[in-house]
Amino acid sequence: MTFADESATWTSAGALGLAALFLALGIVLFWRWRRAAKREIAAVQESTARTERLVREIRAALADAQEEGRRVALLGELGATLDLDAALRRALEAVSELTGADAAMIVLRQEEGEPITAAFGLSEEESTRELIGLPPNGGRARAVRLSYLYTPEEAGNDEFRLSGGLAVPLLGENEDRIGTLAIFWRRVERTLSDSELELFEELSRVFGPALENARLFSEARRLADTDHVTGLHNARYFDERLRLELARARRYDRRLGLLVFDLEQGEGGDLVAAAERIRAAVRATDIASHLGDERFAVILPEAAEADAERLHRRVQCALGGRVDTGADGVRLHAGLVELRAEDDASGFRERAEAALERAKQTGVDRLSAAQ
């Protein structure tokens, strides 16, 4: 072997060794980079998981805050009114929304008379049924679970039927029971968790005092608007309502009638009984009032002169037949008017009273219409 050949051999061997060295170094660096990359990827994944958890927690917190804000808003709306009808409507809408119920009902006790019943999401027929109940005197039951069973025929014909419900006592300011609050669901049976039951009871505790205040205010307002002799509306209420109905008739371009009459009863006449007969004779939309000294007035929304004349005849019959029954009978002098474009509330009433005076003077028909 020559020196040149030997040199070439050693050069080739050195090159191979150097290549092997670089290859080994590359392998070592690759594995180190791979381990580092795995650590980085793991760190990124962990950071992403933490971020996702944080996002979920933030979303849950926002949802809770929104739910709480919605609840506070609904309860705030309820407490902002002393109108009983509005308070009942808002309470029913709120409890249905917050509990996810299909329908709700409130039965509110009164000191006298039948309980006040209000419903949301129930048909008229369902509202008239005896849907809820609690043990006598409130019992010790925390709540009453309601379950409705149907025949196969009933179940097949009514897919939207009530399937169940839950009723809890409605508590007043002093934790005494003032009524019942109930929710209902349809189609399928539903199981309430302890937290849902606690929410329902919380709503009952919050709604109770607000509804009790609205009922007491409504009762006080009713007494303030009621004539203590006859039980009809009094003169103050009549003046307020006449202005309201006149404005409504003008706004919606509707007719408005007014009948004013004096009642002269013979010996032993019963004004309370007469007022009951007058109340039975008027329409549900009419507003009957006792203005004092046996003078009565009836506001007739969306009624013309002919409607007022028919009401006059019904009052005649209710009070004992014809008006010209003699000294010992019932005398009814009446004046009626229909709203004109130039009328205000006082002018409208004055025209009716002027017609009444003409009826008294003529004494023939005992009914006079303002011409």
Architecture of domain 235-369: 2-Layer Sandwich (3.30)
For residue 288, pLDDT beyond 90: yes
CA atoms within 13 A on the CB side of 200: 26
Fold held by 84-224: Beta-Lactamase (3.30.450)
Residue 257: strand pairing partners: 300, 338
For residue 334, pLDDT beyond 50: yes
The predicted structure's pLDDT at residue 196? 83
The predicted structure's pLDDT at residue 320? 67
Q: What is the pLDDT of residues 7-38, one digit of tens each?
A: 556 566 666 666 666 666 667 666 776 676 67
pTM of the model: 0.57
On average, the pLDDT of the chain sits at 77
Residue 292: strand pairing partners: 295
Higher pLDDT, 318 or 78: 318
d(CA 94, CA 91) in angstroms, rounded, equals: 5
For residue 239, pLDDT beyond 90: yes
Confidence of residue 322 (pLDDT cuts 50, 70, 90): very low
For residue 168, pLDDT beyond 80: yes
Q: At a CB cut-off of 8 Å and minimum separation 6, what does 286 contact?
A: 298, 299, 300, 301, 303, 311
Least confident of 131-135, 245-249, 323-327, 328-332: 323-327
* % residues pLDDT > 90 (the chain): 15
The predicted structure's pLDDT at residue 84? 84
d(CA 166, CA 185) in angstroms, rounded, equals: 9
Q: At a CB cut-off of 8 Å and minimum separation 6, what does 135 contact?
A: 141, 144
The helix-helix angle for 194-224 and 3-79 (nearest 10°) equals 30
Per-domain residue ranges for the chain? 84-224, 235-369
For residue 303, pLDDT beyond 90: no
Higher pLDDT, 66 or 211: 211
Beta strands in the chain (DSSP E): 103-108, 116-120, 144-147, 162-171, 177-186, 256-264, 287-292, 295-301, 331-338, 367-369
The predicted structure's pLDDT at residue 58? 45
Q: At a CB cut-off of 8 Å and minimum separation 6, what does 171 contact?
A: 177, 178, 204, 205, 208
Report which DSSP code applies to 113: S
Confidence of residue 243 (pLDDT cuts 50, 70, 90): very high
Residue 205: closest CA among 229, 174, 236, 238: 174
Tell me the range of 26-30, 195-199, 257-261, 364-368 where mean pLDDT is highest: 257-261
